[in-house]
A and B are shown apart, each in its own frame.
Chain A
Amino acid sequence: MDQSITLHRREFLKTTTGLLTGLVAAGSSLALLAPGRAWAVDLTALSSAEAATLMIVARTIIPHDKLDDAAYALVIQAVDADASNDEKTRQMIQEGIAGLGAGFVGSAESERVEALKKMEASGFFQTMRRKTLQVLYANPIAYAYFGYEGEAFSKGGYLFRGFNDLRWLPEVPLADSGPLPV
């Protein structure tokens, strides 16, 4: 839950290198969390243009068209953090971006996929794929989008919140199931 707060707080932070900004689209899943808010992610190693290219890379690797840009921005924020912690990573990312060429950002999805396929074995691509998988689904924006309800202990588990509410199949006979506790 913290990350969406971080997103807002970062609007006010002084940035050292680049800034990635956007507006939460009305009706998107993020709008439920932060309706009408602009978001911004400050960058410490990458420039705004580089970050914008990485956004397109992440959206090509895992294209969820209706998932808000803010979720992808968290991926870029994580890549930027790695790049600022480790000089080799920064170089690898920046060289990877340069290797995509100027036409990448504006090209059609099929062309972007082709370009990435060609570099699939590279450290740049593998890092971007791994980071996207790690970060894209592990935040409240994604939870809301995919309908995942997450941590349940604080709400008494799913025992009374739908763990057995499926009705499109026959009920399981008690012998193969068990009584509800209490």
Chain B
Amino acid sequence: MARIDLNDDGAVVIIGSGAGGGTLAHELTRRGIQVVLLEAGKRQSMASFSQVPGEAFQQLTWLDTRTQSGNWGTARDFPGLPAWHCKTVGGTTVHWTASTPRLEPWELRAKSTYGHVPGTSLIDWPISYPELKNYYLLAERRLGVTRRNGMPGLPASNNFKVMHAGAKKLGYKRVHTGHMAINSRSHDGRGFCIQQGFCVQGCKMGAKWSTLYTEIPSAEATGKLDLRIECRAMRIEHGNNGRVNAVVYRDSQGQEQRQKARLVCVAGNGIETPRLLLLSESAKFPQGLANSSDQVGRNYCHQIVGYIWGIFEKPVYSWRGATVAGVVEDEVLNDPQRGFVGGYRIELVALDLPTMPQVGLPYGWGRDFASIMEEYRNIAGLLINGEDMPRSENRITLNPKVKDAFGLPAANVHVDEHPNDQALRKHAQGQMSKMYQALGAKRTFPGPSLPATHNTCTARMSADPRDGVTNGWGQTHDIPNLFISDGSMMSTPGSANPTLTIVALVLRQAEYIGRQMAAGKI
């Protein structure tokens, strides 16, 4: 591993080691570029992942103080936890469920496709699908995505059998065990999925792609990576020329350090990324870095999610098997006849016994609540993943009244759902209930709202600098050596789970950074 001097101003500093940051670190170091990778969390391993759900949650989750506001259900159901993501080396790829679909070409042209939708801040992406497609191909190879490049699909689990049968009763055609970044056979020096169903606790097989045991060790092997764990970026600094030149962080001992930088790439997930830009305000940039458009933190999207559970006469044992290995893709289309624009996927889901009553079931107690849990063996589960509408006022701000453990203003997450979001959810939950009812379910019911897991669009790419924060490469409009390297740069969320798109965008960005650095432009 490289040791890069604090005063060395030749390195690229990447903040966050998740899907975006971990991948970028590998891509840059393999091109011979020196990288300092700052990660706020600790380093776990396949051996250290806890298989006790409550313990795993504590081990991996970003639990710093946050606040929230707005009319979304999460504010009511999980007041202290607006979003659920990781603080650990590998970021949220340690406990993601690895569903890796692509966006559809028309989803990149959201504004043109959906037309004027009042109360939204929709834009088209500044890049087209053909420009992204090659990088999707590369990303799918890198992640070992199933049903691509000859990697077989995962075998159907019990829970999926219920999903498949129900979907067929409704006439759905595109129903399969998903495009998953989970090895259906050994690949990339990692083993195959043994259907543990503990994907969210960290995959002890390493069958599920995570930057923790793929991209980061590869980057370390180049000798160009200086990974600093338990190091929290507090502020990005700039020189008189308006270019960023250093990152101030707290190290694992709580000491403040200042790492000089040639280039800074922010990949702290869709809430911490804009927060860090806002925290880095200065005399020259009083609104925060890269924020002359006032778009940093705005247009926050998290995708529409929601459970439907079905109770059946016979056992399902839904916890056995890869958690999210199943999808219905027929509703991924823009058909305003359904009463909303944009599409959604229906995905498979299961929850372990301790988590089910806390996160899976709507608020309740007494006989009815207990009677649902009595049927735990016989419950099958589905989850929506749908496109939500960007809104200017749905945004990440600094809460002046509430501080985190470092004394910095906490992030406030504000979400007012758009009527389109609500119409989409209602339609999806209706279809999912019908799937189970068509199979004779004894009962179907929705779960509560959930903490957001897909935080995107808060420093979005835009053709017009007034509409967003970065250009089509994730390079900020205002500061040429400041990049956004995570889901924050997505222009709109679409209905695909975001991570494959994040990886594709970062692979593309790394090429651009390499070229620009070689040409001496940055």
Contact = CB atoms under 8 A, between A and B. Distances in A.
Interface string A148-182: 11111100111101111110111110011111111
Interface of B, helix, strand, loop or mixed by DSSP: loop
A61 interface: yes
Contacts of A26: none
Residue from A142, A148, A171 whose CB has the most chain B CB atoms within 10 Å: A148
Interface stretch (B30-38, B189-197, B443-451, B471-479): B189-197
A138 B352 CA distance: 10
Interface in B178-210: 184-186, 192-198, 204-205
Given A163-B195, A164-B157, A177 B205 contact: no
Given A153-B51, A153-B204, A169-B161, A181 B193 contact: yes
B317 A176 contact: no
B165 interface: yes
Interface SS majority for chain A: loop
A166 B370 contact: no
Contacts of B377: 146-147
Interface in A35-61: 60-61
Nearest to B160: A172
Interface residues of B, number: 55
Given A149-B319, A169-B439, A177 B373 contact: no
B153 A162 contact: no
Nearest to A63: B370
A168 B314 contact: yes
Contact of B161 (A156, A159, A172, A181): A172
Most buried by B among A62, A157, A165, A170: A157
Given A62-B365, A137-B353, A177-B156, A151 B358 contact: no
Contacts of B357: 62, 133, 136-137
Given A153-B204, A157-B196, A175 B176 contact: yes
Contacts of B176: 175-177
Interface string B372-386: 011011000000000
A172 B164 contact: yes
Contacts of A147: 315, 317, 376-377
Interface of A: 60-64, 113, 129, 133-134, 136-138, 142-143, 146-153, 156-159, 161-166, 168-172, 175-182
